[in-house]
Structure 1
Amino acid sequence: MKDSFGREIDYMRISITDRCNLRCRYCMPDGISWIPMEEILTYEEIKVVVEEAAKLGIKKIKVTGGEPLVRLGCPALVGMLKEVPGIEQVTLTTNGVYLAEYAEELKRNGLDAVNVSLDTLDAERFEKITGRDGLDAVLEGIQAALDHQIPVKVNVVLQKEENETEWKALTELARNRKLDVRFIEMMPIGYGKRFEPVYNEVLLKKLKEEYGELVPDTRKHGNGPAVYYQIPGFEGSVGFISAIHGKFCDQCNRIRMTSTGDIKACLCFEERISVREALRVGDREEARRLIEAAISSKPAAHQFEKKEMITEKREMASIGG
Structure 2
Amino acid sequence: MGVLVDGFGRRFRYLRLSITEVCNFRCTYCLPDGYRKTGAESFLPPDQCERVVRAFASLGVGKVRLTGGEPSVRRDLPEIIARTAGVPGVEKICLTTNGWNLERQAAAWRAAGLTNLNVSIDSLDPEGFRRITGHDRLASIVRGLDAAVALGVPSVKVNGVLLRGGVGRGFDAFAEFVRDRPVAVRFIELMRTNDTTAFFADQHVPGSVLTAWFAERGWTARPRGLDDGPAQEFSHPDYVGRIGLIAPYAPGFCDGCNRLRVTARGQLRLCLFGELGVDLRDLLEADEPDALQARIVRALIGKPAGHRLHEANSGDTRQLAQFGG
TM-score bracket for this pair, using the shorter chain length:
over 0.9
Distance apart, 1:296 and its partner CA: 2.9
Distance apart, 1:82 and its partner CA: 1.0
Within 2, Cα distance between the matches of 1:142 and 1:249?
Answer: 30
Distance apart, 1:149 and its partner CA: 1.3
> What is the match of residue 210 of structure 2?
203
Within 2, Cα distance between the matches of 1:179 and 1:87?
Answer: 23
> What is the match of residue 94 of structure 2?
91
Residues 137 and 221 (structure 1), Cα distance of their counterparts in 2 relative to 1, 3 Å cut: farther
Distance apart, 1:53 and its partner CA: 1.6
Q: 2:170 aligns with which of 143, 166, 169?
A: 166
Of 174-183 and 296-305, deviating more is 296-305
1:66–1:318 CA contact under 8 A, matched in 2: yes
Q: Which amino acid aligns with 1:75?
A: P
Distance apart, 1:37 and its partner CA: 5.1
2:210–2:245 CA contact under 8 A, matched in 1: no
1:49–1:288 CA contact under 8 A, matched in 2: no
| Structure 1 runs not aligned, ≥5 long | none
Determine what percentage of the aligned residue pairs are the same residue: 37
1:76 equivalent to 2:87? Answer no
Q: Which amino acid aligns with 2:209?
A: V
1:23–1:30 CA contact under 8 A, matched in 2: yes
Within 2, Cα distance between the matches of 1:152 and 1:222?
Answer: 16
1:45–1:279 CA contact under 8 A, matched in 2: yes
> What is the match of residue 24 of structure 2?
21
Q: SS of the residue aligned with 2:316?
A: coil
Residues 45 and 13 (structure 1), Cα distance of their counterparts in 2 relative to 1, 3 Å cut: same
> What is the match of residue 288 of structure 1?
293
Within 1, Cα distance between the matches of 2:190 and 2:224?
Answer: 25
Within 2, Cα distance between the matches of 1:301 and 1:168?
Answer: 33
1:264 equivalent to 2:269? Answer yes
Within 2, Cα distance between the matches of 1:263 and 1:66?
Answer: 16
2:13–2:227 CA contact under 8 A, matched in 1: no
Residues 291 and 221 (structure 1), Cα distance of their counterparts in 2 relative to 1, 3 Å cut: closer
Q: Which amino acid aligns with 1:114?
A: L
- Could you give the per-residue CA deviations for residues 138-174 of structure 1, whole angstroms, max 9, x where no partner exists? 11111111111112111111212x3334121122211
Distance apart, 1:315 and its partner CA: 2.0
Within 2, Cα distance between the matches of 1:318 and 1:46?
Answer: 17
1:97–1:141 CA contact under 8 A, matched in 2: no
Distance apart, 1:314 and its partner CA: 2.8
> What is the match of residue 114 of structure 1?
117
> What is the match of residue 156 of structure 1?
160
| Structure 2 runs not aligned, ≥5 long | none
Within 2, Cα distance between the matches of 1:172 and 1:89?
Answer: 28
Within 1, Cα distance between the matches of 2:314 and 2:321?
Answer: 17
1:103–1:145 CA contact under 8 A, matched in 2: yes
Q: Which amino acid aligns with 1:282?
A: D
Q: SS of the residue aligned with 1:58?
A: coil
Within 2, Cα distance between the matches of 1:219 and 1:51?
Answer: 26
Within 2, Cα distance between the matches of 1:38 and 1:230?
Answer: 42
Q: Which amino acid aligns with 2:185?
A: V
Distance apart, 1:96 and its partner CA: 1.4
Q: SS of the residue aligned with 1:5?
A: coil
Residues 246 and 274 (structure 1), Cα distance of their counterparts in 2 relative to 1, 3 Å cut: same
TM-score when scaled to structure 2?
Answer: 0.91
Within 2, Cα distance between the matches of 1:203 and 1:172?
Answer: 15
Q: SS of the residue aligned with 2:310?
A: coil
User: How many residues are matched?
Assistant: 317
Residues 174 and 229 (structure 1), Cα distance of their counterparts in 2 relative to 1, 3 Å cut: same
Of 59-68 and 183-192, deviating more is 183-192
- Could you give the per-residue CA deviations for residues 193-225 of structure 1, whole angstroms, max 9, x where no partner exists? 33232222112212333x2x2222226496212
Residues 8 and 17 (structure 1), Cα distance of their counterparts in 2 relative to 1, 3 Å cut: same
1:79–1:109 CA contact under 8 A, matched in 2: yes
Q: 2:53 aligns with which of 50, 54, 74?
A: 50
Q: 2:182 aligns with which of 178, 181, 184?
A: 178
Residues 94 and 32 (structure 1), Cα distance of their counterparts in 2 relative to 1, 3 Å cut: closer
Q: Which amino acid aligns with 1:240?
A: L
Residues 184 and 138 (structure 1), Cα distance of their counterparts in 2 relative to 1, 3 Å cut: same
Distance apart, 1:30 and its partner CA: 2.4
2:224–2:232 CA contact under 8 A, matched in 1: no
Distance apart, 1:319 and its partner CA: 1.1
